[in-house]
Amino acid sequence: MSDRPVSLAKGRVRVNRVADIVADRIRELIVTGDLADGDRLPRLDVLLKDFGVSGPSMREALRVLESEGLITVQRGSIGGAVVHRPDAKTAAYIVALVLRSRDTQLRDVFEGMSLLEPVCAMLCARRPDRKTTVVSELRKVNGASRRLIDGDELAFNETMAAFHETLVQRCGNETLTLVAGILESIWLVHERSWAEAKTARGALLSRPEKLKRLESHEEICDLIEAGEERRVVEAMTEHIEVQLIYSEWLDPTERVDARAIRHDT
């Protein structure tokens, strides 16, 4: 061991700025649920009094929280800021930025989804309470899809997407729900854009195509209810792969667009 003294601190340790400390305190109230989604923060004058900080420090703290998607500052006569609890969509924007910086194709995002969603389906089939927590919700979504099969094209597409979102949300593993939900959020923003453009030029899908996809969802729901873990993985994998191919109105070679994610959150 060398006798030479080792410097543990590379330069002076900077004390957190006042704005960082204020942002940390408000952020903790949001993530712990003490401030609920949709709550309003007090007016600026009340915040200044409560925290005992300067106006510039408080405004900077609010800017930090707004940049993280945790609040929306409303200016004008209403004032105050609306609270947003973080979710998959909040994280999706940051992930989309990273993917965009790597020039990632949407095909790559879809491939990630195609690997995660079958696992979510398996976990749904494994849940002992699946009939009440998973199957009942999936059947509601499928019922809505059936009612729309000859109706509004975009509304039908939304219910089909809701099936995948519900399945992921009900799998029972919070980490997997978040990661798969992030990929779904990125993919669905682009899919909705394509669907709107396609619908403006004509029918999105033919009735037989709609029926085939819906019946696939119903089969997956039946397999989950029966607890068929292996078979539901196979069915979900096949369904997702067919979903991409695919449809001529999808362009999987397109790059991830973080701006689209930001505007959707």
Pairing of strands 71-73, 40-41: unpaired
| Cα(235)–Cα(46) distance, integer angstroms | 56
Task: Say if CB 235 and CB 216 are below 8 A apart.
Answer: yes
Provide block-wise average pLDDT over 10 residues at a time, the chain (265 residues). Answer: 49 66 94 92 91 92 91 73 88 91 92 94 98 98 96 92 96 96 90 81 83 95 98 94 59 83 67
pLDDT of residue 3: 55
pLDDT of residue 248: 52
pLDDT of residue 76: 60
pLDDT of residue 58: 92
Q: Which domains does the chain have, with CATH numbers?
A: 18-83 (1.10.10.10), 88-264 (1.20.120.530)
Helix axis angle, 153-169 relative to 174-201, nearest 10°? 170
Task: Say if CB 84 and CB 27 are below 8 A apart.
Answer: no
pLDDT of residue 87: 84
Instruction: Give residue 197's identity as a one-letter amino acid code.
Output: A
Q: Tokens standing for 72?
A: 């929306």
Q: HSE (CB half, 13 Å, CA atoms) of 143?
A: 6
Alpha helices in the chain (DSSP H): 18-31, 44-51, 55-67, 88-101, 106-126, 130, 136-148, 153-169, 174-201, 207-225, 229-244, 258-264
Task: Say if CB 180 and CB 240 are below 8 A apart.
Answer: no
| Cα(156)–Cα(169) distance, integer angstroms | 20
Who's near 225: CB < 8 A, 6+ residues apart? Answer: 130, 131, 135
Identify the sign of the CA torsion 238, 243, 244, 245: positive
Instruction: Give residue 1's identity as a one-letter amino acid code.
Output: M
